[in-house]
């Protein structure tokens, strides 16, 4: 996941993240889903 965050730092398209992080589209989709879920959980917990 850290690779995705580094690749996306400063804004990026999914395609650029896939190339920079050496992922397939399916892998990226799964990882982004997890990141969004964790971010949502963190936001709810902080409130």
Domain boundaries, the chain: 2-46
Quick one: residue 43, left, alpha or beta (phi over 0 = left, psi -120 to 50 = alpha)?
Answer: alpha
Count how many Cα atoms sit within 13 Å of the Cα of residue 46 in the half-sphere of its side chain. Answer: 6
Tell me the CA distances in angstroms from 15 to 6, 26, 44, one per residue in order.
Answer: 14, 12, 30
Output the pLDDT for position 47: 66
- The residue written with tokens 């969004």 in the block is 36
d(CA 36, CA 5): 12
Whole-prediction pTM value?
A: 0.75
pLDDT digits (tens, 9 = 90+) for 8-43: 999 999 999 999 999 999 999 999 999 999 988 877
């Amino acid at each position: 996941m850290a690779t995705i965050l580094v690749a996306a730092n400063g804004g990026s398209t999914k395609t650029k993240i896939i190339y920079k992080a050496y992922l397939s589209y399916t892998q990226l989709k799964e990882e982004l889903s997890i990141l969004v879920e964790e971010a949502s959980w963190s936001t709810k917990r902080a409130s």
